[in-house]
A and B are shown apart, each in its own frame.
Chain A
Amino acid sequence: MSAMANTKVAELGHKALGLTDADVLAMYRQMLLARAVDERMWLMQRAGKIAFIISGQGHEAAQIATTWPMRPNQDWLAPYYRSIASAITFGMSPEDIVTAHLAKGDDVSSGGRQMPGHYGAARYNIVSLSSPVGTQVLHAVGIAMGAWVKGEDVVALTSFGEGTSNQGEIHEAMNFAGVHKLPVIFVCENNGYAISVPLDQQVGGLSVAARAQGYGFPGVTVDGTDPLACYAAAREAHDRATRGEGPTLIEAVVHRLTSHSSDDDQRRYRDPAEVEDLKQHDPIPLFASRLAAVGLLTTELEEQYRAEVKAEINEASKRAEARPEPDVATAERWVYAEEGG
């Protein structure tokens, strides 16, 4: 890396996007954090502490960069099951996330009621997620509709995979958002596989972004391993939304570095060479190289970040594990609203 730092590339291009050096380093650090949380939870799953893992590894650049323009406590996220890094950008802490995966009683997403990966937190404007895929996209559109009806400045971002993009509810959501130019950003994280089924068996036109034309708003395809490309698309999408110009569909082409979930083995359906090649598409070393090439990321800073992130996840998992289990006596509560709260 130090050798690369000597052969400086003239320009990273972030300043033209309105990002400072500190911003891009913070994005990079957040990618490291999301990865560290993800990897730790796999270890905890292997150790029998977490029942199930569905990973965001490989999606971090797309998630962090597309959520970066979103305004805390003002904008909304309707996530999907890989949205670990998006949830972190919106405010969920590593401790919140590990706590939810351990299904602890005071987990902010569900109090231990939902499976791992079902992100949600009212306090951070993250909508509670279920398991049938694509339902959350209509919730984002409904939030945007609510803001539009009330005349309030809010943008809703929702994310989903390219497999989910084929659901009817996605069509209904995008069509309606297009009709009224609602302030929504649709982020399709296209990792090429719906569990085991490849893109060419899922998407007739091979492009999710191209569908946007039929809905009357822009659809853009970006390299989902490039945080600056993703940020540029999301920045423009957010600006369009707040200007009242309506939705944008961003198709971020990413690589799923892990199997679909801890219950899956992708070697059963992906070519060994393809699996081997995945490392070349890991957004974290790719971005590190670019940051180093322009002299922003030094070896010392990289080591510092990694040490900080490791300490953070160590502390978060320790605290999460110490949290109380759900109380079975509460299992019948909150089916409906209760008196006094």
Chain B
Amino acid sequence: MAELNILEAIRIAMDEELERDPNVMVLGEDVGRKGGVFGATEGLWAKYGGKRVLDTPLTEAMIAGAAAGAAIYGLRPIAEMQFADFSYPAFNQIVSEISRMRYRSNNAFGLPMVIRMPYGGGVHGALYHSQSNEAYFTSTVGLKVVAPGTPADAKGLLKAAVRDPDPVMFFEHKKTYRLFKAEVPDGDTVVPIGVADVARPGKHLSIFCYGYMRFCALEAAETLAREDGVEAEVVDLRTLRPLDTETVLASVAKTGKALVVHEANRFGGFGAEVAAIIAEQAFEHLDGPVTRLAGPDVPGVPFHHSLEDWFMLNPAKIVEAARGLVAY
């Protein structure tokens, strides 16, 4: 066991996968000599060379499209979008090509590839370095979407993503990169895609979350227990698609109340799908309205710190929403 932060865990996962499988490669902007703008690929260029850890031009469509071609050829590329906000030039490749390749070719071509995307706000990145745009990709059939919230999950899920036969969008909340350290199992520990984690058991309500919101929800649960005697169950979804519906429904059956939390804006966000599944499949267990706590419906995280603070979810906002639901 080593104490690592999420960024270190991601770097070690890539290092171990590059070491393990000669078909694994990393490509993206500044991932080589610089080691990535966040440092996720630090040291890999020196260790594996400039072909397997490849600095690309500033061309996101090329990063995604060439990764797709390489995957067709038999490689297992890990492509990095420098910020999730900059993935839109690659949207055509991701949505038209990468997600649909297996289906449209009747299983003749699969694309084992990962697209890593730092996402989320709270880092003074404003409208174009803060987006949580996972809903575009969770609504695209053919992609898998993963958003870890702990160092152990970041490492284990990234390894699973690299080995997956299908394309995986790997969302890394950039505020969590150096937020905390936690124990990460040494060596080749893979965390399966599609399995949620009950991060804290409870009985009065369920809080469904992922990424940075796991950290916030656990803090909120601590406050609720201490100040209100409320035991919140925190379910970290970890994988958004395929969603671990079973764990979600089991938690609602236990608590009768569901609070779905995400930083992305509310309307049409991923939480709407979680809420709909609960409403459809756990109606008889519900003891209150399925409630969403989400980022506000504005086009992005505004820059000034007071504006950004207004936008961002935090433990206090989760506590407040939980209290309202518990009191219902």
Contact = CB atoms under 8 A, between A and B. Distances in A.
A113 B73 contact: no
Given A142-B72, A146-B70, A149-B75, A128 B65 contact: no
A167 to B, nearest CB: 9
Contacts of A272: none
Contact of B108 (A120, A141, A156, A336): A120
B193 to A, nearest CB: 10
Contacts of A145: 54, 66, 69-70
A33 to B, nearest CB: 24
A108 B104 CA distance: 11
A110 B105 contact: yes
Interface residues of B, number: 44
Nearest to B51: A149
B66 A138 contact: yes
A130 B73 contact: no
A143 interface: yes
Contacts of A110: 104-106
B70 A334 contact: no
A110 B166 CA distance: 18
Interface centre among A130, A137, A145, A179 (most CB of B within 10 A): A145
B62 A173 contact: yes
B69 A141 contact: yes
Contact of A140 (B23, B51, B69, B101): B69
Contacts of B57: 172, 175-176, 179
Nearest to A109: B105
A78 B54 CA distance: 23
A130 B71 CA distance: 17
A148 B59 CA distance: 19
B240 interface: no
Given A131-B96, A135-B65, A175-B59, 15 more contacts: A78-B69, A111-B106, A122-B109, A130-B96, A135-B96, A135-B97, A138-B69, A142-B66, A149-B25, A149-B52, A149-B70, A334-B102, A334-B103, A334-B107, A335-B141
Interface of B: 22-23, 25, 51-52, 54, 56-57, 59, 61-62, 64-75, 89, 92-93, 96-97, 100-110, 141-142, 144, 165-166
The 9 closest A-B pairs by CB, nearest first: A142-B69, A138-B65, A111-B106, A146-B73, A142-B66, A337-B165, A172-B62, A122-B108, A146-B70
